[in-house]
A = this chain, B = another copy of it.
């Protein structure tokens, strides 16, 4: 993964260019740690060779998990970076386009990059912290 600082003031905006085989969630979490990013918006497009997705079942308080084990266009990759237990935490949802154009998607556990993935990371000089909410069973952003 390569990064480029596009703007430094008033807040930092980065372009990340991920390359074939890069693991997106892992790469972004590491990058956020290195850069001291504790709150950011993310948006990107590109393609994955495989992706592990989830659908949150509120009754079970756990994710149904499924995989897309084929090349797919990343039609939209949206989400945020926050902190959980002091570490960078990536929350991203993705819409993927199959070869025939059919779109599928979900919560993104991880995805490996096909040809490229181009992601803008817009940091804000704040800290957003997640804490587990027992009612829904997920780590929610503390208001």
List residues of A whose CB falls within 8 A of some B CB: 2-4, 6-7, 9-11, 13, 15, 17, 20, 39, 41, 43-45, 47, 53, 55-58, 64, 66, 68, 71, 73-76, 78-80, 91-95, 97-107, 114-116, 118, 120, 124-126, 128, 135-138, 140-141, 143
Contacts and interface: CB of A to CB of B under 8 A. Distances in A.
Q: State the main secondary structure of chain A at its contact with B.
A: strand
B97 A55 contact: yes
A94 B105 CA distance: 13
Contact of A141 (B73, B92, B97, B118): B118
Contacts of A66: 100-101
A141 B76 contact: no
